[in-house]
Structure 1
Amino acid sequence: MKRIMLTLILLMGIGGYTSYAQSELTLQECLKYALANNQQLARTRMEEDMGRYKTSEVRARALPQVSAQGQYTNNIKQQVLAVPGEFLGGEPGTTALLKAGTKHNVAVSGALTQTIFDQSVFTGLKAAKAGEEYYAMQTYQSEETVIYNVTQLYYNALVSREKITVLDANIAQMTKLVETTASQVENGLAKKIDLDRMRVNLTNYKTQRTQAQNQFQIQSNQLKQQMGMPVATSLELPKASFKEIESKATEVDFGGMSLDNRIEYRLLKKQEELQQYQKKAYQAEYYPSLSLGGNYSYNGISNKFDLLKSKSGGSTASWYDMASVNLTLKIPIFDGWARRSRVRQSEVTLRQLSKDVEATTLQLNTQYENAKLQVQNNLNTIKAQRENVDLANEVYSSTQNNYNLGLANLTDLLDAETSLVSAQNNYNEALLQYKLAELDIIKSNGNLKSLVK
């Protein structure tokens, strides 16, 4: 059932790149699954969507701004104006009270504003587009991080499983030896203390096997977490061809490290570009701005609530409209040197970014050179450990034959077996370190995406 669930997840998450049930996932398949399901990567892609929406928001500042509103007013208590009585034919020296306005007022209006010139808007549009590119580059960096982490965990899991295979072989050998020696003890041909020592070694191997199995399970769970795969899902890895890894190790191509291929460097350069736009935005505050505006309103007044009735229906309402066009010019004169301070702050930030670029350049070049040294060292280690495994095999086989013939004691046999296990594990570890160093070379060349193809 878990196998079926895993296949369905793969079909949905990777776009159905396989048409049959997969019981084992290759590195490429794990990477494709991770790129489709890693949660942090999904969040970064949402940030990229956010960048596009921010560009649209800034672009809106250069487009016409249109608004409309309607208002109804009921003057429950109308304002009273005091005027001299003689104005209304009264006695001089008296005061007459007049109601101002009407009881019911309705107003419908609309406004249009269009920016003609605003340097900050034009600079903001360029900055928003650069910001959109920055978010896309962040997504690219997150994808590279996922590829790098999944590949590391994948190789670690393969080597851990190979250690289990080595221990299984040694447990099988020791089990047979224990059975043979137990039979010899019964027939008085071997000492019981030798049998006890073999059983102690067998128990130690089984304990190591349990520990190795737990380590493999932990690494498998970490791999599934990085892939975005539910931890309860069954994940099987194909049997590693360590001989193939060794044969390919001699064909390593260092290529050439180009800073323009490193996303870390490109992100810093894009930050510099964005900061340049920020500086220009502050400088744009020195420029005057010009905008065109227009307003239109239609108003109705009446002392009765008959605004919607026609004149022929006996309405007492009066309607009139108003319209205006305006051209607004704003000229900044003095702001207490606030603009100048903001410009100088942006200049300091640019200098800081320049130092970050220098430090990152040095760091990336150092990483590349160290990765090359690691590959060379690991190639030598692989060769030495391969020879060591062959030699340990010969020693163990010879010692076992001598032990069976009574020409070697048990201590020699157990020491030879321990040396063989150690040589095999060291060889597998050397292959792992080579693959990790090779991964750093691929990263330095900016070719991590090639692992997915």
Structure 2
Amino acid sequence: MKRIMLTLILLMGIGGYTSYAQSELSLQECLKYALANNQQLARTRMEEDMGRFKTSEVRARALPQVNAQGQYTNNIKKQVIPVPGEFAGGAPGTTLLLEAGVTHNVTASGTVTQEVYNQSVFTGLKAAKAGEDYYRMQTAQSEETVIYNVTQLYYSTLVSREKTIVLDANIEKMTKLVETTSSQVENGLARKIDLDRMRVNLTNYKTQRTQAQNQFQLQSNQLKQMMGMAVTNPINLPSTSFKEIESKATAADFGGMNLDNRIEYRLLKKQEELQAFQKKAYLAEYYPSLALSGNYSYNGISNKFDMLKSKSNGSTASWYDMAAVSLTLKIPIFDGWARRSRVGQANVALKQIKKDMEATTLSLNTQFENAKLQVQNNLSTIKAQKENVDLANEVYNSTQNNYNLGLANLTDLLDAETSLVSAQNNYNEALLQYKLAELDIVKSNGNLKSLLN
């Protein structure tokens, strides 16, 4: 029975794996998988968790600080205090040695401290909250980076596969041509040198096909790595996805770029806010601070170790307690201009962030304009390459007919075929460049997460 159950489990596991391996992954599915499994993104999310703990740590400074302490002391050799003999009724000029303290001493104490007014603590609380937002924004930036990279690799992988499909079609055509020409050579209707040239071209196509297949495999592995998927896990991409690009390759209203939608710019704004809080924290060091504290202790002393006994049982221990409340006011007066130097550093850091924001604004606007130009140029290229493919296909078919009728030589046919393959690959590359430029437009508008829908 155990063997039967084990066999069923194994079969179910193999069946589930095969079903997953054969399923086709759309771009949206790849992106969702990557957001859930990308290792670098997972690390960034841990940094976000770290930010929340840091906020809690800073918030703790504004809460009461409570501590308790217990201490037992055994005065094995007590301190001796010399006193004049006449103080204890002795002869003048003599010295008596008196032992100080008792042998056993037990103390239990507790302290409570509360910041009443400390500008640095209050500023730190606001800064910690802003820091938590900063970590969340870093996570959002990492998510956008993963989406962008996975999308790039997804379309690049589709192009590599399309090149393989093109080569497969040409290998099939050349194989049929070799078979036909081989028969003609046997019957004395064609030259052997023509057959050899065809075989050379066929071998070249097979070599190119192997290279294209290797390139496809490499890009598939890169895609799986970016997704956080095991490289040994096979994936299938939809066969129609790449061809759909052509029908969707149309001019669009790109609109204007909103800097507030770009995570890079928002991160700089948040850095500016954090640096402003840092400056306020340095300025807060000029303010006085006020703290309230209280402590209580309960002490037991005895020359015998009988402090756990009660008086009724003959204990010689004496117990007493102490309590105190204090209000501490600290007024900073002079620190050698250290605070002034820290404030100056904060001012310089704010100016640096301002310059970074100006440079980022210029860079993002340039990226947006360049992406629009790339999309428009690629649309024109797609149209031209599509016409070129149709023309090359027409030339090839015409040349093939003429070759079969003996009106064209083999060189013309092979040249026409080479031109057709080149036109098809150029067309596929143009579609890829269009999708990559379109991706840059989406990124420039801050809408990368729309690709998940």
How far, CA to CA, are the matches of 1:274 and 1:380 in structure 2? 47
| Unaligned runs of at least 5 residues, structure 1 | 9-20
1:167 — aligned with what?
167
Residue matched to 1:11: none
Structure 1 distance, partners of 2:236, 2:245, is: 20
Deviation at 1:89, TM superposition (A): 1.6
Alpha-carbon deviations, 1:48-97, whole Å to 9, x = none? 00000000000000000000000000000011111111222211111111
Structure 2 residue 186 is the aligned partner of structure 1 residue 195: no
Residues 49, 6 of structure 1: alpha-carbon distance in 2 compared, 3 angstrom cutoff: farther
User: What letter corresponds to residue 318 of structure 1 in structure 2?
Assistant: S
Counterpart residue number, 1:79: 79
Contact 1:6 1:234 in 2 (8 A): no
Number of the residue aligned with 2:36: 36
Matching residue of 2:105: 105
The 8 Å contact of residues 102 and 303 in structure 2, kept in 1 or not, is answered as: yes
Match of 2:217 in 1: 217
CA contact (8 A) 1:178 1:199 kept: yes
C-alpha spacing 1:104/1:242, structure 2 compared with 1 (3 Å) = closer
Contact 1:166–1:424 under 8 Å retained in 2 = yes
Tell me the residue number matched to 1:305.
Answer: 305
1:109-124 alignment, distance < 5 Å? 109-124=109-124
Aligned to 1:15: none
Alpha-carbon distance, 1:115 to partner: 0.2
In structure 1, the residue matched to 2:256 is 256
Q: Which of 16, 38, 42 is equivalent to 1:4?
A: 16
After superposition, residues 17-416 of structure 1 pair within 5 angstroms as 23-416=23-416
Deviation at 1:6, TM superposition (A): 8.0
Q: Distance in 2 between matches of 1:6 and 1:251?
A: 41
**Is 95-104 or 57-66 further displaced after alignment?**
95-104
RMSD: 1.2
- Change over 3 Å in CA distance of 1:3–1:161 after alignment to 2: farther
What per-residue deviation string (whole Å, max 9, x for no partner) do you get for residues 318-343 of structure 1? 00000000000000000000000000
Give me the TM-score of the superposition, normalised by structure 1: 0.96
Question: Structure 2 matches for 1:436-447, cutoff 5 A?
Answer: 436-447=436-447
Residues 105 and 300 of structure 1 are in contact (CA less than 8 Å); yes or no, is this contact kept in structure 2? yes
* Contact 2:75–2:104 (CA under 8 A) maintained in structure 1: yes
Q: Residue 76 of structure 1 aligns to a residue in which SS?
A: coil
Pairwise CA distance, 1:248: 1.2
Q: State the secondary structure of the residue aligned to 2:379.
A: helix
Count of residue pairs the alignment pairs up: 441
- 1:256 positional shift: 2.3
Amino acid corresponding to residue 260 of structure 1 in structure 2: D
Q: Deviations over 1:415-446 (max 9, x none)?
A: 00000000000000000000000000000000
How far the C-alpha of 1:2 sits from its partner, in A, is 7.1
Q: Given the two structures, how large is their TM-score scaled by the length of structure 2?
A: 0.96
In structure 2, C-alpha distance between the alignment counterparts of 1:367 and 1:235, rounded to whole Å:
33
Contact 1:86–1:94, Cα closer than 8 Å, also in 2: yes
* 1:254 shift after superposition: 1.2
Residues 365-410 of structure 1: CA deviation (Å, up to 9, x unaligned): 0000000000000000000000000000100000000000000000
Q: Tell me if the contact between 1:147 and 1:448 (Cα under 8 Å) persists in the aligned partners.
A: yes
Structure 2 CA distance for aligned equivalents of residues 172 and 258 of structure 1: 51
CA contact (8 A) 2:81 2:97 kept: yes
Q: Distance in 2 between matches of 1:245 and 1:239?
A: 12
Query: Compared with structure 1, are the counterparts of its residues 3 and 261 closer, same or farther at alpha carbon in structure 2 (3 Å cutoff)?
Result: farther
Q: How far apart, in 2, do the equivalents of 1:30 and 1:299 lie?
A: 69
